[in-house]
Chains A and B, each alone.
Chain A
Amino acid sequence: MSIFVNKDTKVVYQGLTGSQGRYYGMLNRDYGTNVVAGTNPRKAGTDVEGVPVFANCTEAVAATGANASCIFIPAPGVFAAVMDAAEAGIEFVACITEGVPAHDEARFFNMLKRDYPGVRLLGPNCPGIITPGECNIGITAGHIAKPGGPVGIVSRSGTLTYQALYELQQKDIGVTTCVGIGGDPVPGTSFIDCLEAFEADPDTKAVMMIGEIGGSAEEEAAAFIKHHMSKPVSSYIAGVTAPPGKKMGHAGAIVSGGKGTAEAKMEALRDAGARVGLNPTEAGELMAEIVAGL
C-alpha cells in the first residue's frame, strides 16, 4: 500500500516537451511510472519517445485516462497549468516548478479548494512523490529508495528528502511513500495531509518528518501528531543554527507569533511524542530504533 500514488497511477507531464520535462519524464518512465501523455498546445499531435503530446490536459485525459499530472512548466505558466489539470478532472497534481509567485500560489490554492475540492495539489517547488517500486513522479532519484515500507516520509526540503531516503536505505529500511511537500509559502499539500494519509495507510507503520525553520507548519503538524496519530514519528528540523532570515516586517512577526524557530518546532514535536534528531543521520537512527521495536 501507499498514499496518493501507486502502480496504477497514470501521469500526464505538463511541459513534457521542455528539457526538464523530457529528462525527468523519461527517467520516471524508466522507473516504471505510467507516463501516458504530455501537453504542449504548440506541439499537439507529436510525441516524445513514444509518449503522445496533447494540447491540454482535458484532451490528454480523454485519450489516455490520465488521473495524475506532473508540472514542469516555467513559473509564469504554472497558474494556467494547475487550472488546466483541475478542469480536466485530474485528481493529483504535482508541481515541481520553483519560483512561482506567492500570490499565484495563494490564488490557485484557494480556487482549487472552492471549485475543485477533489483535486490534491503537491507543491509547487517540490521534488515530487515516490512510492518506491511502483511510481515516481518528479525529480527524486528512484534508486535511493527501498520499496516496501514500513516507513512513510514527508519532507519540506528537496535534498533533505533524498538524505532521509538514503539514511533509511543504508539501514535497509523500506519506504511506503515519500512525499516532498516543498518549502513555498502556500504548499498545496501540508504535513498534516500526509500524516493523516499515512495514519490511514495499513502498510505504513511509522513516519519520518523533515521540517525547516519558518512558518508554523511543523507546529501544526505536531498538534496533529499529538491528538490524531497512533503511529510513531521521528523528525528532524533543518536550520537550528541558521541566522534569522529576512524579517517580514512587523506584520509577519505578528502572524508567526513566537513560532517559526527550530527550537520551537522541535519542542512542539517532542511534546507530541515524536523523537527528534539533531541532524538527518540521528533522525535516521531514531527511525531505525522505532522500526526495530515495531
Chain B
Amino acid sequence: MKLIFEYEEQTTGYLSDENISIGLPNELIRNELPLPNVSEIEVIRHYTNLSKKNFGVDLGFYPLGSCTMKYNPKINEDVAALEGFRNLHPLSKENCIQGSLQLMWELEQYLKEITGMDTFSLQPAAGAQGELLGLMIAKVYFKQKNKKRAKVIIPDSAHGTNPATAAMCKYETIVIPSDIRGNIDLQKFKQSLNDEIAVVMLTNPNTLGLFEENILEVCDLAHNNGTLMYCDGANMNALLGITRPGDQGFDMIHLNLHKSFSTPHGGGGPGAGVLGVKSFLSDYLPLPRIIKQNNKYIFDNTKEKSVGKIRSFYGNFGMLVRACSYIMSWGSNIRKVSEHAVLNANYLLSLLKEVYDLPYNRKCAHEFVISSEKFGEKSALNIAKRLLDYGFHPPTIYFPLIVQEALMIEPTETESKETLDRFAFVLRSIAHELRENPQVVNGAPYTTPVGRLDEITAARKPNLRWAPPK
C-alpha cells in the first residue's frame, strides 16, 4: 500500500474541491504548502483502506495477556453518546451538570463495593497514573508522620510500571523473587521488611495468573511493619464479586476501567486508572472530590492534605460513563464475569498444557503463562507471528520475565468454547509444525499486508517519519 505522499503529483478529470468557495481573500491563499496533492475522495479512501487493516476485538480473538481484551458491549457506546454526556463542557457549573456528577458519584459507590475501598478518585487517566498517584499519596502520608521511608518492595513478576512508578517517586525498589508455586517468596519478603519500607506493590492475581496464596499474611506482616499495601488492580477481572482487595488487606488499589470494566483500548487509549483508598488515606486524594450534600452533587475543594491535581478536570469522563454503564448492566451478577473469565482461562490451559510447558502447575485465575522453551530460542516470538496467519491476535510474549519463552494468554469471559477450541487447535498445530517443519513457523507471517517485520532493526535504526526524497 502506498503512503499518502506517494500518490500521483497530478490527477485530472475530477471536480476538484478547489472549486468550493470558502471566501478566503486571495492574498491568504497559498500554493506552496508541502502537502500531498490528492483529492478529498482519495484521502478518504486511503485512510479507510488503512483502517481496514486494523485488528481489534470486534474482528477476532485477542488473547493479549494482562490486557483483558474483552468485548466492549455496544450499549456502553449508546450511553456515552447521549447528548448530555457527549456535549458536556468541563467548565460547566455544578448545578448544570447534576446528572454527570451523579454518574461519577455512583460509579465511585460501585467501585467501593467491588474493591472494599472507602474512597475513590476518578482522575487518573491510566493504570500507571493511578500507581503514580498511589505512591505520591504514600510519600505525603509518611512525610506528615515524619517517617523517612525510602524503599518499595516489588516482586520479580510485577508489571514494569511498578518499579518505573517507584523510580518516578524517587523510591528505591527492592525486588523479591517468586517461590516455586509462583507466589511472592514469603521468607525473602520477611527478611526484606524493615522500617525503611514505605510500600509493598503487589498484583493479585499476579502476572503469572496465580492468586497470591499468602496474601493475608503478606498484608499483616506489612501493616505490623507500618508499611502500606498497594494493589496493582490490572488483574481485577479475576476477582469481581468473588474477593475484595480491601478485605485482603490492601490500603490502595488502582483499577484499569479499560480492562475489567470494558471501556475501549488497544489503540492508545484513552484509559482510566481510577484509584481507591482506605479511609485513613482519603484526604490525600486529588481535588476536586465529588460529594453528595442535601441531595445535590458538588465539587469539594476543601481537603488540605490533598496531593493536588493529577489530571485536568475530572479524568476521562467518557470512559467513566462506559464503565458505569457496564457495571449497571451486570448489577449484582457481576460475579459471573470473573467466574467465567477464570473458567475460560482454565479450560484453555487444560487444552494446551500437554503441548507446551506449564512453569507453575496450578489452577490459574483469569490468565495463564505457558512456556515454549522446549521449541528453542525465539520460539515464543515465532509462534506469535505464526498465529497471525491463522487470524488470531498473538498473546503477550516474553512477559513475565521470570518465565523463559513465555506466552501469556488471557481469553476473557466473552469468548465462546468454540473460539477457545479453535485457538487451542491452532496452537497445537503450530507446535506440530515446530517439530516437523520449523522453518514454516520461523518465517511467518505470510498472509499479513507486510509479511514478517524486522523489529530488531526497527528498534536499532528507527525510521519514524516520512521525509521527502532528496
A is bound by B = no
